[in-house]
Homo-oligomer: A and B are copies of this chain.
């Protein structure tokens, strides 16, 4: 990746876990538009390394709604007018609550669908037109790369996941449909099924340190995201799974 213009990666759903690790990896080639509900206030909590120049980060608030994303992409355009947006990551998670179906309300399935797929739809609507304007990358041949984070519940709907699995199945469907439509137009769309618990600070706080490598290290996951971003267009991955060696599945 070696054009003179500033390259931008957009990450929606940024907390101190996986997204921060992906941001770190991408920061050597890309400036970052970081989006989440709690940004920009929560930026310090991401613990991004000081080696990333502050002027390469734009952190804005977005709840995944089309209006908030429209605003964010307008701000992006003003902030870095001469730039090439060519990476998008949809990494929003819904909080999981263990509950029987009949104890759940309609608002919970609706929330699961917003997080699961509507936010990803809105990000795609905002970012794909920008991708299509790009020249193919000189290395990969891609006009852009759009990655969706999935989970076990993206392919298997467990008994307690009635309000979450539908949104995640839907996210997977969206990624597949977009891959089929936009692949021939030069856009790489991928879906990463993360099977296991990511060893974030929050998880360590709740469950203690990982003993025996039973959790996914967010940096190790991010390495695979980067490998996907760098795949050349003759050999793109649409879907892969990732899990710790010890994970039972």
Contact = CB atoms under 8 A, between A and B. Distances in A.
Contact of A141 (B102, B169, B245): B245
A200 interface: no
A183 B113 contact: no
A220 B235 contact: yes
Given A125-B102, A159-B180, A241 B244 contact: no
A118 B107 CA distance: 10
A102 B128 contact: yes
B170 A166 contact: yes
A242 interface: yes
A232 interface: yes
A220 B227 CA distance: 12
A197 to B, nearest CB: 11
A11 B17 CA distance: 37
Give the number of times this chain occurs in the complex, counting copies: 4
B113 A199 contact: no
A91 to B, nearest CB: 15
Interface in A217-243: 217, 220-221, 223-224, 227, 231-243
A186 B116 CA distance: 30
Contact of A234 (B106, B141, B186, B199): B199
B177 A159 contact: yes
Given A165-B177, A170-B169, A174-B166, A237 B216 contact: no
Given A213-B233, A223-B235, A245-B188, A170 B113 contact: yes
A129 to B, nearest CB: 6
Nearest to A166: B170
Contacts of A165: 173-174, 176-177
Contacts of A249: 180
5 contacts: A101-B178, A141-B245, A157-B173, A184-B246, A213-B233
Interface of A: 66, 100-102, 106, 109-110, 113, 116-118, 121-122, 124-125, 128-129, 141-142, 153, 156-162, 165-174, 176-178, 180-184, 186, 188, 199, 213, 215-217, 220-221, 223-224, 227, 231-249
